[in-house]
Structure 1
C-alpha cells in the first residue's frame, strides 16, 4: 500500500477553457479538503467562504477537472459522484471510510494484475475497470461507529 503526497491541481486552463474566479475558487477548495466530497459539499464550502459560485458552475468545473485527470472521482453507494484532489499521478485505487470519508490511495498494480488475470481466465481482453474499497477506517472503528 502506498500513500503519496498531494499533487498540484492545474492553475492554467487547457486551450478553450477560461481561467475564471469561479474556477480558481473551486480549485482552492479542492486543494484544502482531504476527503471525497460531493459537488453540493464543495458548493457549501464556497458559500461558507463568501464565494459566489453557482452549483451548476461547480458541477461543470468538477467535470472538466475530472476529464483532465486532475481530480479523482468515485461513486458512493447512493450513486452520487464524489470528488477529491489527486495525491498522485500514478494509477491508483482508494480505500474509503463509509463514515467520515477518509481516503487512502493504494497502488493500482495488484488490482491491475488481478483484473488482467480474471479477464483472461474468462476469455476477455481487459479494457478498463474501476475498483474502490469501502469500509470503516481505524479512527471510526475506535469510536465504535459501524456505518457501512
Structure 2
C-alpha cells in the first residue's frame, strides 16, 4: 500500500479525531522527516487549531501503530515520516534531511545469517544510512538545523 492509498482518517486501533486526521494528512503530503514542532507550525499555518501536546501524542500513537517511522536528530529530537508499510530502510542526508526509502536485500540476508550463526530466531532490525546528498555535496542543498543523525 502506498501512502496515497493509505486511509488518512482511520488507523486501525486508533480513534479517529479531527486532530489526528489533520496530522495524518500533513504527514501524507511531506517527503522528508519532520519534528513535532515543525509539524505543529505547519498545521497552525494551515489554520488547524491543534496544540503541540496533541501533535506529540498523535505522532506517538501513529508510531506505535506502525504508521510513521521515527528517527533521532543529533540533538536527540524525534523526527517523523509517513513511509510505505513494507519493511525498508532509509538513506538520509545529514545536510538537508532529504530521505529516500531503500530496499536492502543484502542487509536482510546478512541479518538473517548473523542471527542464525549466533542462534537467534525471530529477529528484527533497523538500518538507517546517513550521508550527504548530491545537492548538499555540491553546496546547493538547504541544510536545516537539527539534522538527522544516527541514534
TM tier, smaller: 0.7 to 0.9
Match of 1:80 in 2: 77
Match of 1:12 in 2: 10
CA displacement 1:111-140 (0-9 Å, x = unmatched): 221222233444544622221001111111
**Equivalent in 135, 139, 142 of residue 139 of structure 1:** 135
Match of 1:22 in 2: 19
Match of 2:126 in 1: 130
Q: CA deviation at 1:108?
A: 3.5
Deviates most, 94-103 or 110-119 = 110-119
Match of 1:96 in 2: 92
Distance in 1, matches of 2:126 and 2:110, equals 12
SS in 2 for 1:83: strand
SS in 2 for 1:73: strand
Where do 5+ consecutive residues of structure 1 fail to align? none
Where do 5+ consecutive residues of structure 2 fail to align? none
Distance in 1, matches of 2:46 and 2:71, equals 25
Q: What TM-score, normalized to structure 2?
A: 0.80
| Number of equivalenced pairs | 143
Indicate the RMSD between aligned Cα atoms, in angstroms: 2.5
